Structure 1
Amino acid sequence: MFSSLKKLAERLNLLIGYSSGLGILLMGIILFYEVVARYVFNSPTIWAQEISVFIFMWTMLAGAAYTLQVGKHVRIDLLVIRFSEKTQNYLEFFTSIMGMLFSAYVTLQGFEMLKVTLKYNKLSATPLRVPLWIPQLALPVGFGLLTLQFIIILGAKFPTFSGHEKKEGENQC
């Protein structure tokens, strides 16, 4: 079951990772259009900045799990690489547990925020009047995926955490 969950999460993270890359490209195109419209044609848009911020929120928050999956999150190795391998493993286990707990907490708080937003039908305070649940959904989705990725890291690197012990001749999860 763990390997199935891991494969599903990897595929989902990859899809969202590529979508985040396309979102950043789209955001760049929108902002380029805004600059040209504003400074060349003296006709700024009313939507470019707001839509760019919403795209940015989704790309950064939803793409975080992919970044963690491929090991590209910022790490401060200057001190850690001087420790023994055993100490490094303890630190990685501890930081993964803390990351998982923090991400799970933010996910729950994000859902609480969404409930209030939906209850009061909150809209952006701009002429676009975008329902705020759309950009706010990026928070629980992104941190939920990040929580799942921390669980996968813990299960793959520390098999006793997931209850999946490596048997003789078995490939690592």
Structure 2
Amino acid sequence: MLDTLLALAHRLSRYSARAGGAMILFAAFMVTFDVLSRRILGITMSGSDEVSGYLFAIATALAMPYALLMRANVRIDAAYNLLSRRVRYGMDLFGLILFTIFTLMVTWRVALTVQVTWENDAHAITPLHTPLIVPQSIWLAGWVLFCICLVLVLAGTLRAGWRGDLAAASRLSGVRSVEEEVAGETAGVLPGKVKEA
């Protein structure tokens, strides 16, 4: 059951990261168009900075689950790789527990913000007069997905530790090895083929 949920979380996180990437690209094109039209035509697109701010916040929240599941978050691992597998497991588990608690607290505060926005029918004090419930709800969805992924990774790490399978625990929550980094960077490159510049 847990493996099925983790596979589903991987799939959902991949889609959410792609959606976040599309939002960043859209924001970049929108701001570029605004700058060029202001420079060339003397016309400004009102609200591009506001919309790009919403998109950046949402894209960040949507990308966090993918970064977690791919173990792409930055870690200082100079001494980590010198430690025994059991000590590394303990450190990973401790860090994951703290990270989960922190993320649950942040998500709770985000949910309270969305609730206040809904109750007050809050709108941005900008020319666009954006109903804030729209960007904040999508932002909250990203945080909720992140919490779910964290809980699943924590449960999987605990289960692997309970079974004594520290290698599986490391694949879920440990620092990526050099081999994994290389495999991730070369994924999709066919053996014997060299990409032309």
Deviations along 1:87-144, whole A, 9 cap, x unmatched? 1111100111111111111111111111111111000111111111122224432222
Give me the TM-score of the superposition, normalised by structure 2: 0.77
Identity of aligned residues (%): 23
Q: Distance between the aligned counterparts of 1:76 and 1:50, measured in 2? A: 35
List alignment gaps of at least 5 residues for structure 1: none
Q: Which amino acid aligns with 2:31?
A: L
- Does the CA-based 8 Å contact 2:100-2:150 persist in structure 1? yes
User: 1:107, 1:141 within 8 Å by CA — same for their partners in 2?
Assistant: no
Contact 2:46 2:127 in 1 (8 A): yes
TM-score between both structures, scaled by the size of structure 1: 0.87
Aligned-residue offset at 1:157? 2.7
Render the CA deviation track for 1:48-100: whole Å, top value 9, x for unaligned: 11111111111011211111111111111123233322211111001111111
Which residue number in structure 2 is paired with residue 129 of structure 1? 129
Aligned to 1:52: 52
RMSD, aligned CA: 2.2
Match of 1:151 in 2: 151
For structure 2, the 5+ residue unaligned runs are 166-170, 173-197
Tell me if structure 2 keeps the 8 A contact 1:27–1:55. yes
8 A contact 2:13–2:66 mirrored in 1: yes
In structure 2, the residue corresponding to 1:81 is in which secondary structure?
A: helix
What is the alpha-carbon distance in structure 2 between the residues aligned to residue 47 and residue 151 of structure 1? 37
User: Does the 8 Å contact 2:19/2:62 carry over to 1?
Assistant: no
